Amino acid sequence: MEPGKLTPERALLRLQQLAREEQRAVAVGDVDLLCRIARLLPATMEMIDRSALPGMPDAPAMIAEIQAAHSAAEAFLTGRMKDVAGTLKRYATARRVVSGYAKRPRRSVDLTTG
């Protein structure tokens, strides 16, 4: 095995660890942590040789746990993106309103009459 490479079994254990970290990140709403974990996933996935996994009796349960964590993370991030999109739409509306008021001529108030 090359230095720095994991066996497929170790890679699967690493994916399980990352999945559990994803679950914790979702639980606390940590988008930055989810992004950092996502950057680690491709390299770990490359190390898994599916032909070697059938010998691991825990593999199906581990894969199910990993998939569930990824699905939860995806749903969380999709929800956050919808929240951000809504916020941006509200800011755009507010900006248009403010811009409209800024373009209107100012009316002076005569305080001496009355």
Q: What angle do CA 61, 67, 53 make, to 5 degrees?
A: 50
pLDDT tens sequence across 51-81:
566 677 888 888 899 999 999 999 999 999 9
Q: Which pLDDT value is given to residue 52?
A: 63
Token pair in block for residue 88: 């941006």
pLDDT digits 0-9 by tens, 12-45:
899 999 999 999 999 999 999 999 999 998 888 8
Higher pLDDT, 6 or 113: 6
Which helix or strand (DSSP H or E) is residue 93 part of?
helix 59-103
Q: For the chain, state the CA radius of gyration.
A: 26
